Copies of this chain bind each other. A is one copy, B any other.
Amino acid sequence: MLDKLDLTKRTDTEKYEATLEGYIDRLSVLQRTLREKKIPTIIVIEGWNASGITMTVHEIVHALDPRGFTLHPIDRPSEEERAHPFLWRFWLRIPPKGRIAIFARSWYTRVIAEENDKPSWETSLKGRAREINTFERLLADDGTVILKFFLHITKEEQKSRLEGREGNPLTACQVTPSIWNLHRHYDDALPIFDDFIQKTDTPYAPWTLVEATDPRYAILKVYATIIKTLEKTCEAADKGKMKKPKPLEMIKPKKNPVRRRSRPDKVYTREGLDEALSQLQVEMLELHYHLFKRKIPLIIVYEGWDAAGKGGNITRVTRFMNPLGYYVVPVSAPTEHEKEYHYLRRFTDHFPIGGDIAIFDRSWYGRVLVERVEKITPEADWQRAYQEINEMEEEFVYSSHGGIIKFWLEISKDEQLKRFNQRAEDPLKKYKITDEDWRNREKWDQYDEAIDEMLARTSTPIAPWTVVESDDKGFARVKALKTIIAAAQRLL
């Protein structure tokens, strides 16, 4: 694709200035409209070294109210970012509703730079392209406009620009030996960029290739494309015709492969329980140590009926972990601030780095449980969530070589009633039971259906659900611990 560009294109100064002024006004109005309509926008500026990325960003930013955009210059990841999955740092930087995020370089440069030394370069790039497409699709489906630009110049042009910069004391230090080294590999890099651009050129996040020999021509092309796209978006929003995300191809779940039961096979005596737990404790501590040593991250998700014993189970299980190596993320309804972002961001934010165990007390599965049953989220959105969740979990496992354990704590309807009543009667536990719990109980059947569908659609080979029969709390604790131990052993 890149080699088809006509790099001789030029714009003369007069035309440039006249056109630019009009563009600045239009983009400035558009920014306000996007804010009012609460549409988030991502603008990615990529290109060769010395192709004019900074200058282009500078010119676009002129049109914008500085309070309504954020510019993210993307360089090498920090230690912390490096310890997380590849896309984690970009999830953190997605724009909230109504805001524009401009990326001066982005996940694209980072992929090429960071996968460079992998032995199976081609396979890595293919995997990353798939990941990136998923990431961009998730955002686009949520209403984010994504615009991507690649500034293209020839090898000769690059050389003359680098030499020019070397001659200027203000810019000389930018031209490092590694920049020259990259320049020498221009011809090798060209097909790689080209291929990666093709692999990530999607209807929801298309690339615009920009002939950048003449910076004025390049800037106007970028401006014009942004304005055209955003004007279309705003028009569509006015007519209520925002593009609906294409429904994903749903794999019709077979009969739910995960059998739900609340009664355990076995009930421990007090002594039997203590013995079982203390044996597991030793194993767990040792495994935790090895996970830590080998920097393997682990996510444990707890979902379950109200009063199924999530809190107690977590407390007991964590007793056997080194407190420096785990943390619990309690999940409740999203705050106003969190609602401004894609619903998955508030979870990815807390994903563990290598060696840590993150325990989610409730999780992203709220999307297909409470948000479905209480009609908080439109059906099209929660229907899409099954695949989005599977993809997010897959990305985590693929990218960080970590593990995900998901517990569904099942109790019978009778057992729940018994526990509710016990709580209501006990002054120390009364605070645990609210009217909401009783209201949820009335919707038992609706939740039942939602749970079944969730288990069927999101029990994947890399992140399967484990049903924990929780009518007996002792059994539930042993089973949870055994499951964690088995999963950790598989990871080592």
List residues of chain A with CB under 8 Å of any chain B CB: 29, 32, 54, 57-58, 61-62, 65-67, 70-71, 73, 78-80, 104, 170, 173, 286, 289, 293, 311, 314-315, 318-319, 322-324, 327-328, 330, 335-337, 359, 361, 428, 431
By DSSP majority rule, is chain A's interface helix, strand, loop, or mixed? helix
CA distance A73 to B79 in the complex (A): 17
Q: Which residue of B lies closest to A63 (CB)?
A: B315
| Chain B positions within 8 Å of A293 at CB level | 173
A71 touches B319 (CB 8 A): no
- Contacting A289 at CB < 8 Å: which of B61, B80, B170? B170
Assembled-state Cα–Cα distance A327/B93 (Å): 14
8 smallest CB-CB distances across A and B, nearest first, come from A66-B328, A67-B330, A73-B324, A61-B323, A78-B79, A335-B337, A78-B80, A58-B323
Q: Which residues does chain B contribute within 8 Å of A66, judged by CB atoms?
A: 314-315, 318, 328, 359, 361
Which listed residue (B32, B289, B335, B336) contacts A431, Cβ 8 A?
Answer: B32
A324 in contact with B54 (CB, 8 Å): yes
Of all chain B residues, the one with the shortest Cβ separation from A29 is B428
Task: State whether B170 touches A324 (Cβ < 8 A).
Answer: no
B328 touches A170 (CB 8 A): no
A428 to B335 Cα, complex, angstroms: 32
Bound: A428/B315 CA distance, A: 57
Known: A57-B324, A67-B361. 14 other contacts (CB 8 A): A32-B431, A58-B322, A61-B318, A66-B315, A66-B318, A66-B328, A67-B311, A67-B328, A67-B330, A71-B327, A104-B324, A335-B335, A335-B336, A337-B337
Inside 8 A of A170's CB, which chain B residues have their CB? 286, 289
Find A327's partner among B29, B70, B323, B335 (CB 8 Å cutoff): B70
Which of A61, A62, A314, A431 is the most central at the interface, judged by chain B CB atoms within 10 Å of its CB?
Answer: A61
> Copy number in this complex?
2
- Chain B, Cβ-Cβ closest to A325: B73
**Roughly how many angstroms separate A58 CA and B318 CA in the complex, as a whole number?**
10
Contact of A65 among B61, B73, B315 (CB under 8 A): B315
A67 nearest in chain B by CB position = B330
Residue pairs across A and B with Cβ atoms less than 8 A apart, 9 shown, are A57-B324, A65-B311, A66-B318, A66-B328, A66-B359, A67-B311, A71-B327, A170-B286, A335-B335
CB A76 to nearest CB in B, in angstroms, measures: 10
> In the complex, which residues of chain B have a beta carbon less than 8 angstroms from the beta carbon of A104?
323-324
Cβ contact within 8 Å between A323 and B57: yes
Query: A328 CA to B335 CA in the complex, in Å?
Result: 24
Alpha-carbon separation in the docked complex, A207 to B169 (Å): 54
- Chain B neighbourhood of A73, CB < 8 A: 324
Q: Which residue of B lies closest to A330 (CB)?
A: B67
Closest CB in chain B relative to A424 CB, distance in Å: 17
Q: A29 CA to B431 CA in the complex, in Å? A: 12
Give CA–CA (A337, B61) in the complex, Å: 30
Distance to closest chain B CB from A56 (angstroms): 10
Instruction: Given A32-B431, A66-B328, verify A71-B323 contact (CB < 8 Å).
Output: yes
Q: What's the Cα separation between A71 and B357 when bound, in Å?
A: 13
Chain B nearest Cβ from A53, distance in angstroms? 9
Note all chain B residues with C-beta closer than 8 A to A79.
78-79
Contacts of A286 in B (CB 8 A): 170
- In the complex, what's the smallest C-beta–C-beta distance from A32 to chain B, in angstroms? 7
- Min CB–CB distance A379 → chain B (angstroms): 29
Alpha-carbon distance A286/B67, docked complex (angstroms) = 24
Residue of B nearest to A80 (CB): B78
| Interfacial chain B residues near A71, Cβ < 8 Å | 323-324, 327
Chain B nearest CB, measured from A81 CB (Å): 9
Most buried by B among A29, A315, A335: A315
CB distance from A33 to the nearest CB of B (A): 11
A54 surroundings in chain B (CB, below 8 A)? 322-324
Provide the bound-state CA to CA distance between A337 and B337, in Å: 8
Tell me, rounded to whole Å, the shortest Cβ–Cβ distance linking A173 to chain B: 7
Distance between Cα atoms of A428 and B32 in the complex (Å): 10
| A336 / chain B contacts, CB cutoff of 8 Å | 335-337
Q: Which residue of B lies closest to A431 (CB)?
A: B32
A293-B174 Cα distance, complex, nearest whole Å:
11
Contacts of A58 on B, CB cut-off 8 Å?
A: 322-323
Q: How far is the CA of A65 from the CA of B313 in the complex (A)?
A: 11
Cα A335 to Cα B170 in complex, Å, equals: 42
Q: Say how far A179's CB is from chain B's closest CB, in angstroms.
A: 16
Least Cβ–Cβ distance between A166 and chain B, in angstroms: 16
